[in-house]
Amino acid sequence: MLKELCATLLILCNPILSGFDFDYAKDDHDQFVQGITECTIKYNTDINPFERAIVVLSVAQAIIESNWGESRFAREANNFYGIIQTDRTEPHIKSLRSKTLLKVYNNKCESVGDYIELLNNSEYFQEYRNIRMKQVITGEVDIFTVIESLDSYATDSKYTKKVKDVVNSLLEDYPLLFNP
């Protein structure tokens, strides 16, 4: 509980993140990619190198989870990663299909910061952290090995394949933005 509180305070009190936001037009994928990229980079600059998110992976998951920022959760709650809210007293939005509550963020960058905090603190992503740590130490990054460790991020059994496909597309479509 203390880790989550500290993570939330870091996000809310960080002047780089609390004032940062971005806009994107419907169907303007370039603006969406640029916005999520900038948020991820800004957040990464303020944390330990061993805890930094892989930017292209952050963008790929935001694309999948929010349908390029067009999902109701993205539009109404600035929630690009499908992050669930477990505390009913905190801001949330209800799913129309289930009883699931999703977090509401003040701005888009807060969603990115919370995604990174989730990967760094949730028990479900220990394997992710171990792989990332080893790759940072050795300097040999294999994004696709990292992606394999995210199978518990979603209930979709084909989730990691979808993430790999989107990462491949991003690397192809934005070679100057994402240097593997």
Q: What does the pLDDT profile of the chain (180 residues) look like in tens digits? A: 444 444 444 444 444 445 678 888 888 999 999 999 999 999 999 999 899 999 999 999 999 999 999 999 999 999 999 999 999 999 999 988 888 999 999 999 999 999 999 999 999 999 999 999 999 999 998 999 999 999 999 989 999 999 999 999 999 999 998 875
End-to-end alpha-carbon separation of the chain, Å?
A: 35
Largest CA distance in the chain: 45
Q: Tell me what pLDDT residue 141 has.
A: 87
Q: What are the boundaries of each domain within the chain?
A: 2-173
Question: Model-level pTM?
Answer: 0.86
Q: Tell me what pLDDT residue 1 has.
A: 45
Q: Pick 2-173's CATH classification: 2.40.128.20, 1.10.530.10, 3.30.750.24, 3.40.50.300.
A: 1.10.530.10
Catalogue the long-range contacts made by 173-178 (C-beta closer than 8 Å, 24 or more residues apart): 174/33, 177/33, 177/34, 177/37, 178/55, 178/56, 178/59
- d(CA 167, CA 126) in angstroms, rounded, equals 22
Contact (CB, 8 A) for 81 and 153? no
Q: Tell me what pLDDT residue 73 has.
A: 96
Q: Tell me what pLDDT residue 21 has.
A: 80
